[in-house]
Structure formats: C-alpha cells, structure tokens
C-alpha cells in the first residue's frame, strides 16, 4: 500500500487585467474614503480670504493662496500615507490581499508562496511609484513577464497569484 501523498496545487499567476481591475477597485475605495475624510480639511480654508482674492486685496489673496497650497500639499501627503498603510497592512495580513484583490480572488506572496511582511509590502507600495514614474511601463511589465511580475513585484521579491 502506497503512502498518501498530497500533490501541491500548481501556482497560477494573476494576469495583467485582473491585477488592473483590482487596482481600480482599490483606487475607487481609497478615493471615496479620502474624499469623505478630507472634506473637513478643505472646509478650513478661510472664506474671508477668498473674498479678498475676489476683491483684489493682495494680503488676503496671498493668505488664501498660501492656505490653498498648504492644504494641497497636506492632502497629497495624507493620500500617500493612507495608500501606503492600506496596501501594506492589507497585503501583509493573513489574507495577503487588498479588498480589490479579495474580490478578484488574487493575493500577494513571496517567491515561494508565503505571506509577505509589512516591510516587504511597504517596499512593494513605494516601488509602485517607480513603476508609475517611468510612463507606467513598470506596471505594464506584468503582462509580459513569465511570472506576471510588475517592476515593483520584482523589486520586492513578490508574486501576485490566483487564490
């Protein structure tokens, strides 16, 4: 009698379009949450300074523009931090996936199929900035590489697999 042997399931890599759709779902989710949370921040802009801008009052105009610029910079910074925490915490969790990836039944693993750490997930997130800076070629690579890896996956030593 032969011993019972369990064959490992073959790994199938998540393709470009499935990953793209998950990214769109996550982007919409982050945009909605950010919009809800940042409305009070924009409410802090002084309406009196806006009136001065419309009246041509230079001091009020400069105050309004400085407030507007600082609010814009704070918004960008907050969105980067929120995105980093969302992706890194979700992808380093036991599910190994963001909500968009969960919906599409894909997950992020290391090169041998294990869950990734928060540090690795963080490196992968910030690597996405590089993937986007080079005309999104880093993302498009996922459609052409053998293991369907984007540049940020290669940099972080990750795979995106069907769950």
* pLDDT confidence of residue 70: 83
Q: Would you state the pLDDT for residue 4?
A: 72
Kindly list the domain boundaries of the chain, sorted by start residue. Answer: 16-162
Q: Is the pTM of this model over 0.75?
A: yes
Low-confidence ranges of the chain (pLDDT < 50): none
Collapsing DSSP to helix, strand or coil, 21 comes out as: helix
Q: What is the pLDDT of residue 60?
A: 65
Q: What is the pLDDT of residue 21?
A: 98
43-55 pLDDT tens trace: 665 555 555 556 6
pLDDT for 1: 62
- How many other CB atoms are found less than 10 A from the CB of residue 93? 15
C-alpha pair distances (Å), 54 with each of 59, 63, 70, 87, 157:
12, 13, 20, 42, 53
């Amino acid at each position: 009698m032969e011993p019972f042997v369990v064959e490992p399931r073959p790994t199938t890599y998540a393709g470009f379009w499935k990953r793209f759709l998950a990214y769109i779902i996550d982007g919409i989710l982050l945009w909605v949450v950010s919009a809800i949370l940042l409305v009070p921040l924009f409410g802090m802009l002084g309406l009196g300074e806006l009136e001065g801008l419309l009246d041509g009052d230079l001091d009020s105009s400069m105050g309004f523009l400085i407030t507007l610029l600082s609010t814009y910079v704070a918004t960008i910074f907050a969105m980067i931090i929120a995105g980093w925490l969302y992706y890194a915490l979700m992808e380093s969790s036991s599910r190994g996936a963001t909500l968009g990836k969960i919906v599409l039944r894909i997950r992020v693993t290391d090169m041998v199929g294990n869950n990734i750490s928060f540090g690795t997930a963080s490196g992968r997130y910030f690597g996405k900035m590089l993937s986007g800076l080079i005309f999104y070629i880093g993302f498009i690579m996922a459609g052409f590489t053998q293991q369907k890896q984007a540049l940020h996956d290669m940099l972080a030593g990750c795979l995106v697999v069907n769950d």
